[in-house]
Every structure is written in C-alpha cells, then in structure tokens.
Structure 1
Amino acid sequence: MANHAEERLRQLGISLPEASSPAAKYANYVIVDGLMYVSGKGPSGQPRGKLGVQYTTEQGYEFARLTGIEVLAVLKEGLGSLDKVKRVVKIQGFVNATANFEEHHKVLNGFSDLMLEVFGDQGIHARSVFGAVSLRDQLPVIVDSIFQVEE
C-alpha cells in the first residue's frame, strides 16, 4: 500500500521546518535494519516550563504536536520523503510535570494524533509516557520515536 504522507501534510497545511540539530554529541537519527530511531526532540520555539505550573494540559497537547512536527522534519531530512515511512512503531514521551499532574497521556495525544493524521493507519503505534521531574533546557515535553522505513 502506498504511503501518501507528503500529500496529507500539504492537505493539513503543515510546512516542515529544517530539522533541528542535536543538543549534544549524538545523531539526530540512526537507521538499523529498516528501523529509524529518532533522538529525543522537543517543541519548536524552545518553550520552558512545567505542566501543572506554567502550562495546562491543552498547551501540553500543542507542545507535543509541535514536537511531532520536529520529528517529521528529521524523518524528511533523513529519508528525503515522508512517503518512505512504512509505519510509526513506537513513541516514548517524557512530560515535565508536577508530582500531582495526571494527564500525561492527554499531552502525548498531541504527538499521536499528528502521526495518525499524516500516516493514516500506518500511524497507529505503541507508546509509553512518563512524568519527569525535569527535562533538558526545562522543555515541557520530549519525545523519542521509532519508525519502520524503506532503506
């Protein structure tokens, strides 16, 4: 079945930024045996703060969606076309939140919903989400991800 992710992206009115550079000495992605592992990414604009203090669940959802756009930019840079993504395999999200914040899953839905919009049924994935006492640069959300791709 053909993947029409590039067309879906256009229909959604999303233009991808250039892929952000790694924050330290590591690669943006690595491809091994048909799987593309994308390093942890946060939302564009580098917002700083914690869910449950500076940000609401709804704002966290938007940050997770923006993080998804960052990941799509890395995929596009690495593969040349999002149409080479066969499947979204696994998403792991980290939410910078207070100890009593309980809506981590609703925050990460921003990322998951975007993957479904762009990749259709191939966007359905396994996922985990964790609350974090802190994240690099005080980002509200970081997501790392695994994709099955055409090499």
Structure 2
Amino acid sequence: MSDRPETRLEALGITLPKAAAPVANYVACAQTGSTLIVSGQLPLVDGKLLTTGKLGGGVDAETGTACARACLINVLAQVQAHLGDLSRVRRVVRLGGFIACTPEFTAHAGVMNGASDLAVEVFGDLGRHARSTIGVPSLPLDAPVEVEAIFEIA
C-alpha cells in the first residue's frame, strides 16, 4: 500500500468532506512556520452532528469513539483545504480531545482513541502524537466530542 495519506484514506473507505467554515470569530487553521494548528472540529457527517448529548448520559462509549473518529476526519478536511495535499504533513504532533460527559464518566481515553487510532492509520508512525483528553460539561451544538490538532508540515 502507498504511504500517501490520501491512498490510506481511500483504502479505509474515507472521503474527506468539504472543510466546515468557522462559525464564530476564529480561523479553521493557523500556520506559523512549519506548525499548523487546526481549530476544534465537531463530529459532523453530511453537515449534521453524528449524535448529540453527553457520554455517560445517553451517549455510549462506542458512539463517542465514532464521534472522535468523525472529528478527526473533519480535522483532516481542514488540513487538506489549507495545504492542498496531506502528504505535506510531516508529523501529527498533538491531538486535543474534549469529551462532553457526566461527572461519573471516566472512559475519556478510550473515546479519544477513535481520533488517535485514525491518525495512525492515515499517517503511520508519523501519526503517533502527544495528546490531552478532557471531560467538559458541554460543547457547541450539544456535540459529545470535539477534537483539535497540531501538525508539523513541510
């Protein structure tokens, strides 16, 4: 199999959507030198949230993991729109995950693996990254997960 991220996405059956426009006073991507920072992305599929609600309060961990994966697909769509070619990614440096959850929910790491695992599937060893996963009381549009990212680019 080719090492090109686009080829790996195709093999996974993933077509990147059109990058979502920012909904407030921020930019989707900010680049400084060889660092690309992507603003938090929600689990939008065909323009609609995959689901709404909180982990531990109606959204199960499996659905949360699928949401984290969808968030990373949207992160990659932003990178593609900004760079024009995912092969310019030299490394996934960091992912930040926000999990809307009840106070009792503690399986944040497993949910965030939906994004982390996909980063490695798409970029191989270059997709291995540092990460933070934080439980929060709410997210925009009642989304259960939001993922942000930092990349080193060529």
Q: Which residue of the other structure, out of 47, 63, 83, is the alignment partner of 1:79?
A: 83
Greater mean deviation of Cα atoms: 48-57 or 115-124: 48-57
Q: Tell me the percent identity.
A: 43
SS in 1 for 2:59: coil
Q: 2:57 matched to 1:53?
A: yes
- Deviations along 1:77-117, whole A, 9 cap, x unmatched? 00001111110001111000000001000010000000000
Aligned position for 1:121: 125
Instruction: Give the 3-state SS of the residue equivalent to 2:123 in structure 1.
Output: helix
Q: CA RMSD in A?
A: 1.1
State the TM-score, normalized to the length of structure 1. Answer: 0.95
Residue pairs, 1:1-151, within 5 angstroms: 4-44=4-44, 45-46=48-49, 47-150=51-154
Classify the secondary structure of the residue corresponding to 2:19: coil
Q: Which has the higher strand share?
A: 2
Whether the 8 Å CA contact 1:17–1:70 is kept in 2: the answer is yes
Residue-by-residue CA offset, 1:10-45 (whole Å, 9 max, x unaligned): 111111100011121110001102000000111012
**In structure 1, how many angstroms separate the alpha carbons of the residues matched to 2:60 and 2:32?**
37
Q: Aligned partners of 1:86, 1:63: CA distance in 2, in Å?
A: 25
Q: Give unpaired runs (5+ residues) of structure 1.
A: none
Shift of residue 3, structure 1, vs aligned partner: 5.2
Contact 1:3/1:84, CA 8 A, preserved across alignment:
no
Task: Give the count of matched residue pairs.
Answer: 149
Give the Cα separation in 2 of the matches to 1:93 and 1:38: 12
State the shift of 1:53 in Å.
1.1
CA distance in 2, matches of 1:57, 1:10: 26
Query: Which 10-residue stretch deviates more, 122-131 or 46-55?
Result: 46-55
